[in-house]
Structure 1
Amino acid sequence: MRVVTWNVNSVKPRIPRLLPWLDEREPDVVCLQETKATDEAFAAELGEELAARGYEFAHFGQGQWNGVAILSKVGLDDVRIAFPEAPGFPDPTAAPEGRAISAVCGGLRIWSVYVPNGREVDSDHYRYKLNWLSKLRAAVDGEAEQTMVCGDFNIIPADRDVFDPTALVGHTHVTDAERAELAGLLDLGMVDVQRAHWPQAQIYSYWDYRAGMFHKDLGMRIDLVVAGAPVAERVQAAWVDRKARKGTKPSDHAPVVVDLDTAPDGNVGPMVPPPSRPAKPAPGSVRLPHSIAD
């Protein structure tokens, strides 16, 4: 079973890329984030095309921001929108934003999550992010063994997962508190699948649009697949499809592909194709082209 997570950064302009990509890679389950569409608009834009390709889908969206979806060829059962006690923003008791959806696909509970950005350390948005992650962990606890949590975590798990850790000093995504929340999810007996499969490799899944960051391979790994240990043992390949980040009107994220039980393309590497001419700047010599709070 091929499971993919992809932050498409607005699904409508990405349709000319998404549909051919589905035809090329033939994933069984696709978790999308940042669709920026209502449920009705998502169905109207993609429903017929997905059905023609054998996909059922579930979507939880808000229109101009957020939005998550699951596409599945292997069943879409027990769909859950958000999770118990999911906080809203700015009022934690408000209705949850379109940031989490899950379903049983191919016998596994699969989540598509778009973790809040956090914006600035110690801001209301940052505290919302930590609270949201804590509640997600509680929702996964008890069924983690046969679960995959896939999505844009907006957390860089370790310093090696960013082109230059010094460039993010003082920013979100790298704070001890955020990394502790991710570690709490792993403490449930879950595994950061791609890092486990490629423990020493340089791997990125996001490159800012500006300043030629993609072509210089100045990226960060924030799109993760976290799976229960028995599921992680089934992984035969885990890779970032860099090809999908190239060309006209791409998302700033690339899909992360995880193959369970069989690997149709083989154990192809951590990023496909690998960067051809990555820059090798000295630490501190390259600044982020914009705040990751944007």
Structure 2
Amino acid sequence: MKICTFNVNSIRARKELIIRWLTEKETDIDVLCFQEVKVEEKLFPYEDFESLGYHCTVYSQKGYNGVATLSRKKPSEIIKGIEDSYFDQQKRVLSVKIGDIWVVNTYAPHGDIRGTDKYYYKLDWYRKYKEFLSQHFTDSDSVVLLGDFNVALEDIDVWSPQLLADSIGTMPEEREALRNILQLGYADCFRKLYPEKKQFTWWDYIGGAVWRDEGMRIDYIFAGRQICEKVKDVYVDMWPRRRRTPKPSDHAPVIGIFEV
């Protein structure tokens, strides 16, 4: 099974590029999870992706946030949100069961500098997200958590630990919030295979950062014990990112290959 996470930064702005990528480069992805689709559910381009053989499950809103999971097989179960009326005003989490595997498509809040409302919102959201996961999934379930978590877990996950120290995405309390999720029994599939490798998934649009590889690794594929043992490879596909036209997202897709 080939599973992908991709923060597209607007599905409508990126549709032409994604379709080219799926038809010319990555033709055999089984489950494709988008974040930041930024469109109402009724306006999602269902037909374009259905014509490529995908079932589209969408949980989104106008203008910002929003997640969508595309799968070759139709999901047998769907959970939209994290079952909290306050946090689910922002459409950030979509869980679908495909065969025996739960895929939890996640777009964590970006946050802000320490002490601001958005800073506290991010940390509170992570606590509620952990509650949701612990209530719905156990060690006996086959679960993949993936998406844009807006945290670089370790210094190796940023291009300059010195310049980016204690900034948004690297603050110790943010890293602790994400590690608390992993303590539920999930492992970082990329880091399991490549413990010393520097590989980023996001680069600022400003100043050509992607061409200098001045980025951060904030997009992940995490998996529970049942699935993580079956991971064969995890890689970042730079084809949709290192280009000028069609205009890319500021993220690159992360793809995991599992023997299931």
Q: Same fold (TM over 0.5)?
A: yes
Work out whether residues 144 and 227 of structure 1, in 8 Å CA contact, stay in contact via their aligned partners in 2. no
Which one-letter code corresponds to 2:4 in the other structure? V
Work out whether residues 166 and 172 of structure 2, in 8 Å CA contact, stay in contact via their aligned partners in 1. no
| 1:98 lines up with 2:98 in the alignment | no
- Partner of residue 235 from structure 2, selected from 234, 239, 246: 239
Corresponding position of 1:27: 29
Corresponding position of 2:153: 157
Q: Which sections of structure 2, spanning at least 5 residues, go unmatched?
A: none
Deviation at residue 85 of structure 1 after TM alignment: 2.7
Alignment CA distance shift 1:144-1:129 (3 Å): farther
Work out whether residues 118 and 125 of structure 1, in 8 Å CA contact, stay in contact via their aligned partners in 2. yes
Alignment of 1:76-95 (within 5 A): 76-85=75-84, 87-88=86-87, 95=88
Work out whether residues 60 and 69 of structure 1, in 8 Å CA contact, stay in contact via their aligned partners in 2. yes
Work out whether residues 121 and 170 of structure 1, in 8 Å CA contact, stay in contact via their aligned partners in 2. no
Work out whether residues 76 and 99 of structure 2, in 8 Å CA contact, stay in contact via their aligned partners in 1. no
Corresponding position of 2:101: 108
Q: Distance in 2 between matches of 1:18 and 1:261?
A: 25
CA shift digits 1:160-190 (9 cap, x unpaired): 1000012223422111111111111111111
Q: Distance in 1 between matches of 2:61 and 2:15?
A: 18
Which one-letter code corresponds to 1:193 in the other structure? C
Q: Distance in 1 between matches of 2:74 and 2:32?
A: 12
Identity of matched residues, %:
33
Deviation at residue 87 of structure 1 after TM alignment: 3.8
Q: Distance in 2 between matches of 1:51 and 1:57?
A: 7
Question: TM-score w.r.t. structure 2 length?
Answer: 0.93
Q: Distance in 2 between matches of 1:86 and 1:179?
A: 25
Q: Distance in 1 between matches of 2:98 and 2:193?
A: 23
Which one-letter code corresponds to 1:111 in the other structure? V
CA shift digits 1:82-125 (9 cap, x unpaired): 0123643xxxxxx5201111100232111111100112212111
- Partner of residue 132 from structure 2, selected from 128, 136, 139: 139
C-alpha RMSD over aligned residues: 1.4
Which one-letter code corresponds to 1:41 in the other structure? L
Question: TM-score w.r.t. structure 1 length?
Answer: 0.83
Q: Distance in 2 between matches of 1:165 and 1:86?
A: 37
Poorly superposed stretches of 4+, deviation over 4 Å:
none
| 1:3 lines up with 2:19 in the alignment | no
Instruction: Name the SS of the counterpart of 1:30 in structure 2.
Output: strand
**Further displaced range: 71-80 or 231-240:** 71-80
Corresponding position of 2:254: 256
Deviation at residue 144 of structure 1 after TM alignment: 4.7
Which one-letter code corresponds to 1:130 in the other structure? L
Q: Distance in 2 between matches of 1:195 and 1:86?
A: 34
Work out whether residues 211 and 242 of structure 2, in 8 Å CA contact, stay in contact via their aligned partners in 1. no
Q: Which sections of structure 1, spanning at least 5 residues, go unmatched?
A: 89-94, 263-294
Corresponding position of 1:91: none
Deviation at residue 209 of structure 1 after TM alignment: 0.8
Alignment of 1:215-294 (within 5 A): 215-247=211-243, 248=245, 249-261=247-259
Aligned length: 253
Work out whether residues 7 and 34 of structure 1, in 8 Å CA contact, stay in contact via their aligned partners in 2. yes
Q: Distance in 2 between matches of 1:75 and 1:15?
A: 22
Q: Distance in 1 between matches of 2:161 and 2:118?
A: 22
Which one-letter code corresponds to 1:257 in the other structure? I
